Structure 1
Amino acid sequence: MEQEMENIESPQHVDHSKSEVIFDNTNRPITLKFENVAYKIKLVKEGCLKNSSKSEEEKIILKDVSGIVSPGEMLAILGPSGCGKTTLLTGLGGRLVNGHLDGVITYNNNPFSSSIKRSIGFVTQDDVLYPHLTVYETLVFTALLRLPKTYSVEEKTAHCDAVIPQLGLTKCKDSIIGDSLLRGISGGERKRVSIGQEMLINPSLLFLDEPTSGLDSTTALRIVSTLKDLANGGRTVVMTIHQPSSRLFYMFDKVLLLSEGNPLYFGRGKDAMGYFSGIGFPPLVAMNPSDFLLDLSSGILSDDPRVLSDAPREDPALIKQTLVAAFKTNLAENLNEQLQESIDHLATEKLPDKIFSQWSNTWWQQFSVLLRRGMKERKHESLSNLKVGEVLVMSFFSGLLWWKSNNIQDQTGLLFFYTSFWEFYSVFQGIFTFPQERLMLEKERSSGMYRLSAYFMAMTVGDLPMELVLPTISTVITYWMAGLKPSAGRFFSTLFSLLYNVLVSQSLGLAIGAMVMDEKSATVLALVILISYTLAGGYYVQHVPRFIAWIKHISITQHAYKLLLGSQYSLGETYSCGLNATCLVEDSPSIKTIGLGGKGISIVALAVMLFGFRFLAYVALMRIGVTKK
């Protein structure tokens, strides 16, 4: 493990002589075919009134879309927003999890399978990357997780060294990724890092969703040129793209034009203008081919005011219907012949049923890599200057307020405050963990990078030191300033009780965050639960009615507060309760309601909550990133 860490942090020590392994054509070229692909999804509509019934409406996204892409070719799927481009790409990549997908999608005449999945790279439109990792670290961690266990660590890092110059990332390989709040690499470099993550497995088939979105024309050209080079190397490249420049358009070997889920054109990109001119839809002015195709797919012949200033406009719906009918008449039959010819040609090109095992690496390898990556990334948030400053200010201020206090009521107030503060703090730390990780978890789980159990355990173990260091520092500061009992046993008992409270509270936050997955909704739910726990904690209300007293048995606050009281006071101890008078601590009004007995029950109850909440979080996460195998 230490050797792997050295390789990640010191790329200059990697043997670059092995970088050529990335160019080995270990994956068999894949011909992608899709025939009569249709996709429907049910939308639930609610009435205006609160108690009105819900109705389901079926929406058709794709309508009998067909096509074929061979190794060495780059297919661009064009169309206006909402035409079904991303849905089609997601379906071709085997990543649709909702709705009903019809039609036949094959890879060398084979259906989607785990072996096919390992030969596919998929780059989403949004670049989902960890902001605090460098470009090199991002690629190395991906290589350690995705490349098979038959490769050594040195060979996996060598793949990264080959990908970096191939994608023009040499100058920024030691720069952090960054995000909207943290300055890092440029948008084009981020996109190339995302492509590089997929290139590490040397995919035979590469899908990209809007790879040029948000980039300037020069950067977009560089990205598409890189993809064209990859296709020329024997890979099959399929991408969606919204409005490419004319320079980009003529790089595409094939173009698929969609309009409201209907195919309007499928064929060579350079033949598209001639086809539409031949069926009576010529461009009226010289213009970018992609602009012309997008106008047609939107039902617009031309927006040029010099041409149509005085001419009546045709109905867009009628134009679309005409183009759909023309496709069926002029192109559909020829396309079906191409598909049939490919079936005969690829009849002997069947892929083995199992090229790969289900997982590229063992559970322990996945756990160790995820642990290191998680600690490297999350330490910047868990131990940020803002949070450290918050805890230090709170600790010193509390110590000053309770400075050398010898009043039992004040001391119990401090213990209850610490119970509540760290309960709230830890719950909200846990709440935001999984909603912030959701996109990354979806992306990596859908690629089959690791087991969910390995991820969950790595996150749990990795968070322990970072979640416990601040409460420990806070306790050391406040305990001695407040004048609590100066005994090592009492101090460590207090510290143990507080850290136990932190772990259980964090588990509650993780469960809420994983089940709700919406930060605002999760925050509201957590506040309701925490306030209920606090009110039932035994400090504010000492005589709780029987019909609601059961809440105290499931209150983290009450059990944690009992342990903190037990760490400072024992049965039979006395305190000054008046002039020349002493009383038993268990008879103190601030302790009597909770009591000093039953600490074992509280320890067990908190343990049940600790493991129970984490189990709920794990079960809730099982629905994320699940795709068909």
Structure 2
Amino acid sequence: MSSSNDPTVIPMIERRQGDLPETNTSDPETLTKEAVLSFHNISYRETVQSSFPLRQQTRVMERLSSISGIMGPGLNAIMGPQDGSRSLLLDVLAARRDPCGLSGDILINGKPRPANFKCTSGYIPQNDVVLGTVTVRDNLEFSAALRLPMTVTRDEKRRRINEVLELLHLEKEQNVKPRSKGLRKRTSIAMELVTEHPILFLDDPTTGLDLRTTTDVISILRRMSMKGKTIIFSINQPQYSIFRFFDSLTLVASGKLMFHGPARDALEYFTSAGYQYESHNNPADFFLDVINGGFPDTEEDGHEADENEEFVERQHQVTGKWPICMPSPPYHSATRARLDQLLGEQKLDRSSAVETTCVTPFWHQLGWITRRSFKNFLGFPWVTTIQVIIIVILAVVVGTAFRLLQNVCTELQMRAILILLLTGFQCITSVTAGELFVIDQDRFLHEHTSGYYRVSSYFFGKLPAELIPRRLLPSTIFTLITYFIAGLRTSVRGFFTMTFTIMMLAYSASSLSLSLGAGENVAAITTLLVTIYFVFMLFFSGLSLDTGFLPVLSWIRYFSIPHYGFRALLHNEFLGQNFCPEYNTEEVSRCQNYVICTGEEFLEIQGFHLSSWGFWENHLALACIMIILLTITYVQLLLLKKRKHC
């Protein structure tokens, strides 16, 4: 017995298997000719866990059920209600979902889809991931530099970029930063076109665009399809002015195939089943109204629960009886025969392996990622300028205040408090470092999955380019200004040792934020957790001036980043210092309490080793913490793709 979805499969193109383009789908670099994508009885299942914390139960849901079809050069639209089926089908065809839940066969020109198919085809997600702080040409150069083999010359890359700019009418905007939605969408398409892959997938490319911009985007896709490219995209209720450009239409609802075939034949197919079409109605709206059981597919606030349940129930009723009530097209048997012919003997050679391959070496990727990161930093000059001005003013105020408050009786205590303040500043300014990977998460997932770069290239290219100008530079400016105004140790060795300590402290503090932020979706969670940690640890670092306070909690210092930085700065500042005026015992005698005159005495009271090891042991601890936290960050990035099912 045939599949429950068989009656709705309609042929899109009339070619014999021998007419298919000769393309080596196992080529690790690229597919270069026209491509016909066919899918045969594909189903997709997901394991869903219950939300009850005490009773964790898992169940398997079938999201797609026995879907077959053929898509060739042209505009191939996937439509359906807002139940996630259309985007899921697109992602499955584009190899952007976990293959463990997939059954069935997906072929390219009658051959198995290669394991690195997602790297040899274009894909544009619904949410644009274009970097808006660099120009359109910069984005295209980045894509061409990392996705084209090293054997392609610079002149050839430049030629491809210029051709794409001309095709998409972007010549006048090539030096403009893509800030508007329309320009971002066209830039996304351009970044995929420079690779000249024959298949391009787009997830709802018109979402959030006005009618004029939507028309421009579809016109661009139309021009691409006329050059022999296979364009496959999901879309929600397009207007007729958009719908009339479609070559192939695929309707899915509740994971089932409702129609697949030439878009021009869809209206006749539905009317032949007895559904009445009004001439003034939009065909796309008419199809979705039929699938939804008479309900328009809109999202409105204020729907009652029973109305939503009735909507879902009627939709399932329609999809459940669809094969029974709909007529079988006269060419259904020919379609099934052609699909079986395309499948051929490939059932014996089925592989669910998915891999990401890169065509450029590590150092090449590292250089381009670092270069783009610095350009991204320079993309907001006014933000950097305001930040520096605020830091300079704050440093001058703090340094001046400590300078004016100096006196013989409290000289040593005031310096210790100032060093604690400098330690706290390094930590607090590093709290938002976790946003680095949270904000860039969608872009990283898309680019890595598409074969732009390896995780290692991204990790080592992003860290120095982002942390040095955004984290280390502001903290260094604040420390230097405060250092000289407040009159701290003026020796050359002491100054550079302090600068190195500040750098180690800032990087260690930022590493904590990065390790927590790499696996999160919301930056606020990371910021809150890191803030609580540093406030708690700075509190105990301040109390460490009195070693007899809460000895039961003394073990906490071993997990405190501020503790090691604070002790290193104290050791550098106080060792070899004398804070009492020479030959002036009368001035010292005016102090009510006992005055510590030498830095060594203070350090011994605090339990410091006066040897050089007493200083460098803190740096060793900071280095170990930094290495451990950055390793955790790297592992988080490696696991991120699996959690996101990319």
Q: How does 1:357-436 map to 2 (within 5 A)?
A: 358-380=357-379, 384-403=384-403, 405=406, 407-426=411-430, 428-436=431-439
Q: Which moved more, 1:324-333 or 1:236-245?
A: 324-333
Contact 2:568–2:616 (CA under 8 A) maintained in structure 1: no
Name the CA distance, whole Å, in 1 between partners of 2:197 and 2:168.
15
Structure 2 partner of 1:11 = none
Q: How does 1:54-203 map to 2 (within 5 A)?
A: 54-70=56-72, 72-97=73-98, 100-114=101-115, 116-178=117-179, 186-203=180-197
Give the C-alpha shift of residue 536 in structure 1: 3.0
Name the CA distance, whole Å, in 1 between partners of 2:83 and 2:551.
57
SS in 1 for 2:224: helix
Structure 2 partner of 1:281 = 275
Structure 1 partner of 2:25 = none
1:357/1:294 Cα in 2 relative to 1: closer, same or farther (>3 Å)? closer
Q: Could you tell me which amino acid in structure 2 is paired with residue 620 of structure 1?
A: Q
Structure 2 partner of 1:606 = 622
Give the C-alpha shift of residue 201 in structure 1: 0.5
Give the C-alpha shift of residue 410 in structure 1: 0.7
Q: How does 1:279-358 map to 2 (within 5 A)?
A: 279-300=273-294, 317-326=316-325, 329-330=328-329, 333-343=333-343, 358=357
Contact 2:247–2:263 (CA under 8 A) maintained in structure 1: yes
Q: Which moved more, 1:250-259 or 1:96-105?
A: 96-105
Contact 2:203–2:233 (CA under 8 A) maintained in structure 1: yes
SS in 1 for 2:150: coil
CA deviations 1:79-109 (Å, max 9, x no partner) are: 1111401111001000103871222111123
TM-score by structure 1 length?
Answer: 0.85
Match of 1:560 among 557, 560, 565: 565
Structure 1 partner of 2:600 = 586
CA deviations 1:481-530 (Å, max 9, x no partner) are: 11112222222222221122111111111111113343122122212321
Give the C-alpha shift of residue 284 in structure 1: 4.2
Give the C-alpha shift of residue 595 in structure 1: 6.2
CA deviations 1:22-57 (Å, max 9, x no partner) are: xxx97022210111221222222233xxx6322223
Matched, 1:514 2:518: yes
Q: Percent identity at matched positions?
A: 26
Match of 2:463 among 454, 460, 464: 460
Q: Across the two proteins, how many residue pairs are aligned to each other?
A: 576
Q: Could you tell me which amino acid in structure 1 is paired with residue 321 of structure 2?
A: T
Match of 1:27 among 29, 32, 51: 32
SS in 1 for 2:464: helix
Matched, 1:448 2:451: yes
Q: RMSD over aligned Cα, in angstroms?
A: 2.9
Structure 2 partner of 1:532 = 536
1:291/1:476 Cα in 2 relative to 1: closer, same or farther (>3 Å)? same
Q: Could you tell me which amino acid in structure 2 is paired with residue 129 of structure 1?
A: V
Match of 2:556 among 551, 559, 572: 551
Q: Which moved more, 1:447-456 or 1:331-340?
A: 331-340
Name the CA distance, whole Å, in 2 between partners of 1:206 and 1:595.
65
Match of 1:233 among 227, 237, 246: 227
Q: Could you tell me which amino acid in structure 2 is paired with residue 134 of structure 1?
A: T
1:161/1:624 Cα in 2 relative to 1: closer, same or farther (>3 Å)? farther
Contact 2:517–2:523 (CA under 8 A) maintained in structure 1: yes
Contact 1:533–1:557 (CA under 8 A) maintained in structure 2: yes
SS in 2 for 1:515: coil
Contact 2:95–2:117 (CA under 8 A) maintained in structure 1: no
Matched, 1:615 2:631: yes
CA deviations 1:212-238 (Å, max 9, x no partner) are: 112222322221122122112111111
Name the CA distance, whole Å, in 2 between partners of 1:274 and 1:26.
36
Give the C-alpha shift of residue 457 in structure 1: 0.8
Name the CA distance, whole Å, in 2 between partners of 1:506 and 1:302.
50
Q: Which moved more, 1:53-62 or 1:599-608?
A: 53-62
CA deviations 1:528-551 (Å, max 9, x no partner) are: 321332133254563354543222
Matched, 1:267 2:261: yes
Q: Could you tell me which amino acid in structure 2 is paired with residue 534 of structure 1?
A: L
TM-score by structure 2 length?
Answer: 0.83
SS in 2 for 1:157: helix
Give the C-alpha shift of residue 128 in structure 1: 0.8
Structure 1 partner of 2:213 = 219
Name the CA distance, whole Å, in 1 between partners of 2:332 and 2:573.
82
Name the CA distance, whole Å, in 1 between partners of 2:493 and 2:282.
79
Name the CA distance, whole Å, in 2 between partners of 1:366 and 1:612.
25
SS in 2 for 1:509: helix
Name the CA distance, whole Å, in 2 between partners of 1:92 and 1:291.
25
Contact 1:429–1:509 (CA under 8 A) maintained in structure 2: yes
1:134/1:272 Cα in 2 relative to 1: closer, same or farther (>3 Å)? same
SS in 1 for 2:45: strand
1:36/1:425 Cα in 2 relative to 1: closer, same or farther (>3 Å)? same
CA deviations 1:430-468 (Å, max 9, x no partner) are: 211100110110110110111111111111232354133
1:582/1:530 Cα in 2 relative to 1: closer, same or farther (>3 Å)? closer
Q: Could you tell me which amino acid in structure 1 is paired with residue 98 of structure 2?
A: V
Name the CA distance, whole Å, in 1 between partners of 2:562 and 2:322.
67
Name the CA distance, whole Å, in 1 between partners of 2:562 and 2:426.
10
Matched, 1:243 2:237: yes
Name the CA distance, whole Å, in 2 between partners of 1:515 and 1:218.
38
1:595/1:378 Cα in 2 relative to 1: closer, same or farther (>3 Å)? same
Contact 2:501–2:619 (CA under 8 A) maintained in structure 1: no
Name the CA distance, whole Å, in 2 between partners of 1:41 and 1:504.
40
Name the CA distance, whole Å, in 1 between partners of 2:238 and 2:159.
34
Q: Could you tell me which amino acid in structure 1 is paired with residue 393 of structure 2?
A: V
1:342/1:533 Cα in 2 relative to 1: closer, same or farther (>3 Å)? same
Q: Which moved more, 1:146-155 or 1:198-207?
A: 146-155
Q: Which moved more, 1:321-330 or 1:145-154?
A: 321-330
Contact 1:94–1:628 (CA under 8 A) maintained in structure 2: no
1:400/1:216 Cα in 2 relative to 1: closer, same or farther (>3 Å)? same
Name the CA distance, whole Å, in 1 between partners of 2:645 and 2:35.
19
1:284/1:432 Cα in 2 relative to 1: closer, same or farther (>3 Å)? same
SS in 2 for 1:559: helix
Match of 1:495 among 496, 499, 511: 499
Give the C-alpha shift of residue 285 in structure 1: 4.9
Structure 1 partner of 2:55 = 53
1:92/1:98 Cα in 2 relative to 1: closer, same or farther (>3 Å)? closer
Match of 2:488 among 480, 484, 496: 484
Matched, 1:43 2:48: yes
Contact 1:94–1:112 (CA under 8 A) maintained in structure 2: no
Structure 2 partner of 1:306 = none
Name the CA distance, whole Å, in 2 between partners of 1:399 and 1:476.
10
Q: Could you tell me which amino acid in structure 2 is paired with residue 342 of structure 1?
A: L
Match of 2:202 among 195, 208, 211: 208
Q: Which moved more, 1:488-497 or 1:561-570?
A: 488-497
